[in-house]
Amino acid sequence: MKYMKALQVIQPHSFTVVKAPIPELKSGHPGRILVQPQWVSMCGSDIPYFTGSKRHKSYPLAPGAPIHECMGVVIESNSNAFKPGDMVVAIPDGDRGLAEFFVAQDVKAVMLPGHLGDKDSSCLIQPLSTVINAVDRLGDIAGKSVAVVGLGSIGLFFCWLLKLRGAKHIMGIDPSEERCYVAQRLGANRTFPKRSIEVLRAVQQRADDWEPPEVCIEAVGHQMDTLNDCIELVRKQGTVLAFGVPDHLVYSIEYETFFRKNLQLLAVVTPDWSKYLVKARDLFDENRAALETLVTHRFPIREASKAFTLYEHHEDGILKAVLETSCW
């Protein structure tokens, strides 16, 4: 049996380097590729696994967890879609991207053209695919008003894509003035450098300064309050799009407000990867100059703990951090 190096979260806030078996492609499971990652990026949904906020998770985590935004080179393949040497963005089985090698399903991978194969920013293709899927689920957004609560990299993707799709008025809400500035650069017409509850309280005191949006996008997750803020902030007969990942099995929502306003609550998760990774790759390729600026920090794999901690606390102007995994 051959072994590889991998990072393992042995307890909250603590990584260690371990030896783990190199995953094998099994003959009875076609449509798989073995990938050697070159760069991986952190998603906000990864952070609770690092901090211990996922109550149902026990430690240590599986070696390589919890990373799913990865780009690298195909080493071995039993898929008709990929061959050794192909550069890909791929989602590892079990989200085990913090390792020298991982296995992925071919339907959860997309080929990179040569000029993107050496770009660390290509990791952005995976999260962009989820945002494209979400906006597609909203239908024709042209001419509509939209509020985006949470201006991390996902919220910023939303501002940019909504502008591209012709939204009439885009509002961004986030306590970080720096993120609000980036949102305006990417397409937001107006931003509020406040928490959503603070915006809500201000609206309640002075309603004439707030035109309720037709759509409110919750792009924070990991707690319940911002979803309820969206329910309060959106206009009657509007739509609340729940994008932020939950950390709890049961959410308490302000149901009477939701009921009386005749709202639609739309959940968007796990797109058709074979379709949306391709759409994201092509869109990213066409607009790389604008989108790759979201990668603000780069770290070697040995500094993963530092990167995760920085991301956890939203320090140093971090938007998106990538880890170089080619040198252990």
Give me the domains of the chain, ranges plus CATH numbers.
Answer: 3-118+287-324 (3.90.180.10), 130-267 (3.40.50.720)
Is pLDDT at 328 greater than 90 in this prediction?
Answer: no
HSE-up of residue 156 (Cα within 13 Å, Cβ side): 23
CA distance 255 to 74: 48
pLDDT in tens, 235-252: 999 999 999 999 888 999
Q: Quick one: CA dihedral 150, 302, 288, 68, positive or negative?
A: negative
Element (H, E) at 172: strand 169-173
Q: What tokens does 62 get?
A: 């599986």
Residue 224's Cβ-count burial label (10 Å; 0-12, 13-18, 19+) is middle
Q: Are 123 and 71 in contact (CB under 8 A)?
A: yes
> pLDDT tier at 29 (50, 70, 90 boundaries)?
confident
pLDDT at site 3: 97
- Please give the structure tokens belonging to residue 66: 């919890």
Distance CA(22)–CA(92), nearest Å, equals 13
Q: For residue 232, what are the CA distances in angstroms to 137, 196, 205?
A: 22, 10, 14
Measured between alpha carbons, how far is 42 from 256 in angstroms, rounded to an integer?
Answer: 37
Tokens at residue 86, please? 């192909």
Cβ(189)–Cβ(167) below 8 Å: no
Instruction: Count each helix (H run) and each strand (E run) in the chain, helices first.
Output: 10, 15
Q: pTM here?
A: 0.96
Give the pLDDT band of residue 326 (cuts 50, 70, 90).
confident
Q: pLDDT band at residue 12, thresholds of 50, 70 and 90?
A: very high
pLDDT, position 210: 80
Percentages helix, strand, coil for the chain (3-state, rounded to 5) are 35, 25, 40
With bands split at pLDDT 50, 70 and 90, how would you rate the model's confidence at 124?
Answer: very high
pLDDT in tens, 137-181: 999 999 999 999 999 999 999 999 999 999 999 999 999 999 999
CA distance 64 to 40: 11
Q: Residue 53: pLDDT band by 50, 70, 90 thresholds? A: confident
